[in-house]
Amino acid sequence: MPSFIWSQSIAAGATFNPLSGWAYEFPPRPGIVKYIHRATATGLVATITSGSDELLQEAPVQAGGTAGTTPSELNTAPIVDAVNAGDRQQVRYRNPTGGAITIDGIIDYTATR
C-alpha cells in the first residue's frame, strides 16, 4: 500500500499541491485512496479531487495540529474514495490568511485488483 506524507509551511496568499509529481498521482490500477490532513492554525482551505470527482469542495482544513506530526484517524476524519486507473489525485491547499500555516497530511493508496 503506497503512502505519501507531507508537512509544508504555506505562506500567506500561497497555494500548495503536495501530490504533484508523486509516483501514484495517476494510480496504475483501480483502488481506494484515503486522505487525512490537519493544519496548525485556522484559515487554510483545501480542495480534493480524484479524476473528475470533487471529493472536497474548497473547505476549511481542521486546525490544531503540531507542525511535522502526521495526522491519524484517531483525531481526524479521513476522506476516502474509490479510484479508477489513471484518475489524477490532487489536493490543493490555499492560504487566504495573513500568516504562514503548516499543513501535515497523508494519502494511502490501496490497489483493489
Residue 32: is its pLDDT beyond 90?
Answer: yes
What mean pLDDT do residues 82-94 have? 97
Q: What is the pLDDT of residue 21?
A: 96
3-state secondary structure 46-113: EEEEECCEEEEEEEECCECCCCCCCCCCCCCCCEEEEECCCCCEEEEEECCCCCCEEEEEEEEEEECC
Q: What are the backbone dihedrals phi and psi of residue 5, each rounded to the nearest 5 degrees, phi first?
A: -115, 140
Residue 92's CB is within 10 A of a number of other CB atoms, namely 17
In this predicted structure, the answer to whether residue 47 has a pLDDT above a threshold of 90 is: yes
- 96 with 17: CB under 8 angstroms? no
Average pLDDT, the chain: 97
Q: Which three cell numbers stand for residue 70?
A: 502526521
Q: Where are the alpha helices (DSSP H) in the chain?
A: none
What domains are there in the chain, each with its CATH number? 3-111 (2.60.120.680)
Please tell me the pTM assigned to this model.
Answer: 0.94
Residue 34: pLDDT over 90? yes
Rounded Cα gap, residues 52 and 66, in angstroms: 32
Render pLDDT for 51-72 as a digit per residue (tens, 0 to 9). 999 999 999 999 998 999 999 9
Q: Which amino acid is at 90?
A: Q
